[in-house]
Chains A and B, each alone.
Chain A
């Protein structure tokens, strides 16, 4: 009888140590279960958020792109591209790590927005403002998707550990503890019988 990675010695000391370990593992299992439940709740909430946001953003993106393409084809590529050139390298963002249940998830912090005020031909200004808003929405969607991906991957790992603890490690260790207890009890009984036998022999010898 053994548990992976553990050398089993059927002694009382080992049993006490094993029981202590089982208690710690059970506590860990309890905490991990709580983490799993919390991550599931977070994931569900983020998924709902993403579903709503994504649908809204995609609908808006479709409208904005259609209007932009319309403006692009009406004014011609030359006029639009000259202005588009001017915004190159103006946008800057930082990805900050934030912790949710010990998991590092990204939060996008826009450091520098593309400067629009006064800078675009009055004929194309509305399209440019719309595209900037769309960019902000797309960043929100990308941030949510990234959060979901990271949480889902951690949830999968946590779930695997919880399942392994629940279905394999804890039952095996409890079985091992039971086995050791039985071994110790058996050994004790053997000792008792052996002592009784020896005592009987000694009593016999004294009586002779």
Chain B
């Protein structure tokens, strides 16, 4: 690892030291109102983005949270180089993909996109304006495919989407592209803990695929469509195995067949998808925590840093909307990924 990339690890540790500790997030989830949450956040990196808000709402706060997340990713990108930099850029595409999905869905519904709704990441390879200006879906996808990594969009997915206007296709194609890129880049980076990193990405893919393959059994979703959105590169669940799982009709068969994720699958089959999603995220976080000592001072730390930045962002979004909607605070605390 070059000197600059050693600095990347130091930077990642620096950022992690500025993250909000899980106990504090748990405390924030008990805020009575948004004002209380803001007062607690004033002591953190979020201060410049939330202290002078004209209108205090979960929406305006979440824009501030997004900016901090993007800035933290940018801090890492600025000190990284080569494949490491590419890896961080690909990871940070979460927001960009959300924006692309938003633009495509608004094109279908012919709704206007407000300026607030699209938060440019600043590191994207894409020009949102050119997408918004596209008059037809065909033109939009032509423009989209002219950018990296969207050139990997499969034609059969685009054609199917244009015909059926089914957003699931685009959503999962974006996931497929992102995870594909991340896995490809891990094979190009030599560092201690690369296998753990591949395993983690593989587990994330497996979890998305579990939701996909149970859809025909639970909700009569079309197996042909589900085949199209299966993401390759899972850790325990190979593509062939998942294709076979699409044909399963019984709960017990599904649980036995998709071994390794029994608790998550049981929740999904009980139609508790949100809880299953949270459980999966917590399992990934626990895995990260378990592996951090063995892979200390390697690129794994950078990945862990990015994951924790993302978790903090998701937790704060959860807290702010949860407080605004007055969700039970115990539930909010229980649902925190970082806690």
What total of chain B residues lie within 8 Å of the partner, measured CB to CB? 44
Interface size on A, residues (CB 8 A): 33
**Residue A123, interface by CB 8 Å:** yes
Instruction: Please state if A70 and B331 are interface contacts (CB–CB under 8 Å).
Output: yes
Q: Is the CB of B325 within 8 A of A73?
A: yes
Is A125's CB under 8 angstroms from B102's CB?
no
CB contacts under 8 Å to B, within A57-109, are: 66-67, 69-79, 81-83, 85-86, 88-89
Main secondary structure of the interface of A (DSSP, over half): helix
B271 A126 Cβ-Cβ under 8 A: yes
Measured between beta carbons, the chain B residues less than 8 angstroms from A67 are 274
User: In the complex, how many angstroms separate the beta carbon of B59 from the nearest chain A beta carbon?
Assistant: 7
- Contact indicator B171/A121 (Cβ below 8 Å): yes
Residues of B within 8 A of A66 (CB): 327
> How many A-B pairs with Cβ below 8 Å?
112
Whether the pair A73, B102 counts as a contact (CB closer than 8 A) is no
Is A208 an interface residue when CB atoms closer than 8 A count as contact?
no
Whether the Cβ atoms of B101 and A82 lie closer than 8 Å is yes
Are A82's CB and B167's CB within 8 A? yes
| A192: B residues at CB distance < 8 A | none
Check if B91 is an interface residue, CB within 8 A of chain A. no
User: Quick check: is A117 within 8 A (CB to CB) of the other chain?
Assistant: yes
Partner of B220, one of A69, A85, A117, A119: A117
Among A75, A89, A124, the most chain B Cβ lie within 10 Å of the Cβ of A75
In the assembled complex, the CB of B54 is this many whole angstroms from the nearest CB of chain A, namely 19
Q: Which of B104, B164, B327 contacts A73 (CB 8 A)?
A: B327
Is B212's CB under 8 angstroms from A122's CB? yes
In angstroms, Cα B94 to Cα A36, docked, is 65
Q: Which residues of chain A have a CB within 8 Å of any CB of chain B?
A: 66-67, 69-79, 81-83, 85-86, 88-89, 116-127, 129
